[in-house]
Amino acid sequence: MSSTTTRGLVELLAPIPGWTLPLAEVPDPVFGQGLAGDGLAIDPTGEVLHAPCDGEVVLPGAARHALSIRAACGEVLLHVGIDTVRMGGEGFRVLVQAGEQVRAGQPLLEFDLALIARRAPSAVTPIVLAGQGVARIRERITGRSVVVGERILLLDGAGGASAPVPATQATANGSTGADGPGARRRYRVPFDHGLHARPAAQLAAALAGIDADVLVHVRGRQASARSTVGLMSLGVARGEVVELSATGAGSAAAFAAIERLLGPALAPEPPPRRSSSATGEQRRLSVPRRGDRLRGQVASRGLAEGVAFHWPPAGEAVVPVTTPHRAAASPGAEQARLTQAIAAVRRRLAQLAEQGGEAARGLMAAHQVLLADPELQEKAAARISAGTTAEQAWGEALGGAADALASMVDARMAERRADLMDLRQQVLQVLAGRGTEPTTVLPESAIVLAHELLPSQLLALDVQRLAGVCMAAGGTSSHVAILATARGLPMLVGASAAMLGIAAGTPLLLDAEQGELLVDPPVQQREQLAERRERRALRLAGDRARALEPALTRDGARILVYCNLGAASEAVPAVAAGAEGCGLLRTEFLFLERQVAPTIEEQRQEYQAIATGLAGRPLIIRTLDAGGDKPIAYLPQPHEENPALGLRGVRTGLVHRDVLVAQLEAILAVDPPGQCRVLLPMVTDLSDVRTVRALLESLARSAGKPVPALGVMVETPAAALLAAQLCREVEFLSIGSNDLSQYTLAIDRQHATLGARLDALHPAVLALIATCARAAHAHGRELGICGAAAGDPLAVPALIGLGVHELSASPAAVATVKGRVRALSLADCEAFAPGLLDLPDAVAVREAVAAWLARQPGFEGDA
């Protein structure tokens, strides 16, 4: 596809599908007022950005949300969304390299449209001609829908982008020698996200009409201060010091304009001293170095030594949804292509299920169900009938379903979006002619570094060569984390994005016990890790051998170890893994991805299957935890600015009382009576509990059934502080440590930067847990914990020492938790744990617990 016409004009093609609009309607003054350049914008409906013309790719520093094409008509800046620089690259994947020559229509980057809609002011994407010497726009298409590859701008062909100022090697005093004395000044960049599009355009606009050539110098590189794209390409961060040089009659006026934007100039830099060590600022801006430790969240525990391997490898880029180079064939032909591709993926899923063990079989079975979902098939067929390609039809059908999951605050349910995106990508891969078989060959002991790895991608990797995984995205309860745990594969998620800059082949240590990735560590650290791995393997083997035995402390105290479940198929394997009951059944799996609520009988059958699988063991069923943060098609919800603090949990059940009543009736119908207990989510006061209890008692009388035990989840500081009052109304309390940590520490559970600091071992969270324990013991109530903390071996002594004697973890963690309990004395834990409340933060608590464990008699293995 070419972008030049035979009439000497140049046309720019739509890089994404959507609605075109003039720049004046862009909700940003820099783009709206044309400071960044002339052009138009598109409100996108697709998730892949394509090249609007032939040219060379220019990547602006480390940013992933924007790039430009250096073409015959000038620099074409493509900026996905407004203020998306604040997302720090999350949700964006660049598919090309800096300096790469691309053709019009070639995919450039993929982005998560739903994430942008939630995290940025707007997804509107400006396409502007930036810099000097750009071509004049003769015609622009605005105010209507366009598809990828359709002409949106017609330009004079006589323009041409000014060549970017080449990088130069600075002399000893920081000058290139090309500028006169007194024409250079230093400034500290004040903008929150450095010289991204907005401040770069403002700086260029500030110099309009001034007779001076101004260059910006940083780290041995330089760019014209009049070039928005050139400035962005420097990758200047907030607080970084840059030097500006000006020549020409208007130099003084140029510096005056610059200082109105950047502030006063800094004092001249003293002559540098010769030193081989980098400054702290330089280290923060550089890629990881030998000996660096990068933090992440533990998704699958374990220790690994290996070499860095980046995913996706070369040639394995994400397949785009749209194919602008190929027009749709007849609807019949396109439907046939899609049907064949889905069948090929279904065969591949069956193969992965056969090869991957119990966890893979359950997941692949779920993927098979999603793949055959009639609603998704109907939506894709409708799009094909309307004239789209099989690729676009399938991509849009699954994209819409994924969007409904993407906005959920509940991390487990939000991460189900990855399953849909996985299926979307697999089918698109077949449609693109790549087939389903993996082509990637891992090096020996590969530690895969990725923004995100999908379940099918993990299963396709050679487990004999795979040592561990470290991802910048993902969650601790995602399906890929569950698969890693089942395979005994160490995995970190939510890790520092800096790890994506580690050179392939670099020696690494992955410590998925302490949550660290060590870059090219010294020999001593490698030897220590090898010793820890051997101790851990012996301990795990022993724990699994005794998994079906009760968890008794050294002084004979019984600690109940339950499991968390999210589907009927998980019950029997959980019992085999040692679970003594289900401490939390997440019932959302019955309500999502459908257009009407499940019937009472549908629910009863699922609950009965789980109860039967547990063979009489306790089954604690949480009522539907949905609301503004978890959109469900048949539950109309008002728009909420902050859904995490809005209509969710039991509040939603009381608003949509028919849904709550149906669920309670289904629970009451499960045999034998008394095995099921009812758990209410997001309780903050007594009135809601009393209302549900009265409803439950009335339904039980009508059904001639005994009233099941009623409990509440302690997920907010309010519930913890009212624990004594709640204990007078209910039979048990269940602490949801994930949400309790989120609401106590005011940190979003999915925050890319702060997520690693969200720790249930923070002293403030432990203090609330202790408050609940005192209330439960005083009133003779059962107290459990069902969040991630229950499966954290390092948290076990703190929790049982504070009075939590029921732990509900993932099935894969049950044996390990039981083993940790057996290594402890309850009396010693009770003497030790209260002192943790006086420590300053979660890091100090973890260090104190680890040190204490190492001193315990008979304790084997590292903390």
70 CB-side CA count, 13 A:
19
CB 238 within 8 A of CB 245: no
Cβ-based neighbours of 6, under 8 Å, separated by 6 or more: none
Cβ-based neighbours of 768, under 8 Å, separated by 6 or more: 714, 717, 720, 721, 740, 744
Helices (H), 736-841: 737-745, 763-778, 796-802, 814-822, 826-832
DSSP state for residue 337 in the 8-state scheme: H
* Catalytic positions, written as ranges: 479, 786
Q: Tell me how far CA of residue 376 lies from CA of 349, 395, 630, 645, in angstroms.
A: 18, 10, 20, 32
The rounded distance, in Å, linking the Cα atoms of 91 and 110 is 8
CB 320 within 8 A of CB 48: yes
CB 478 within 8 A of CB 452: no
**Rounded to 5 degrees, what are φ and ψ at 601?**
-70, -40
Q: Give the other-Cβ count within 10 Å of 779's Cβ.
A: 17
CB 329 within 8 A of CB 379: no
The rounded distance, in Å, linking the Cα atoms of 544 and 504 is 36
Rg of the chain taking only CA atoms, in angstroms: 29
The rounded distance, in Å, linking the Cα atoms of 821 and 216 is 61
The rounded distance, in Å, linking the Cα atoms of 388 and 404 is 23
Cβ-based neighbours of 215, under 8 Å, separated by 6 or more: 165, 179, 222, 223, 224, 225, 244, 245, 246
CB 745 within 8 A of CB 758: yes
**Sheet with 92-94: strands ordered across:** 48-50, 107-111, 92-94
The rounded distance, in Å, linking the Cα atoms of 833 and 797 is 7
User: What does the angle CA 743 – CA 745 – CA 747 come to, to the nearest 5 degrees?
Assistant: 80
Residue from 775, 779, 833, 782 nearest 807 by CA: 782
Q: State which H helix or E strand residue 732 sits in.
A: strand 732-735
DSSP state for residue 122 in the 8-state scheme: B
CB 94 within 8 A of CB 43: no
The rounded distance, in Å, linking the Cα atoms of 574 and 581 is 9
The rounded distance, in Å, linking the Cα atoms of 267 and 321 is 53
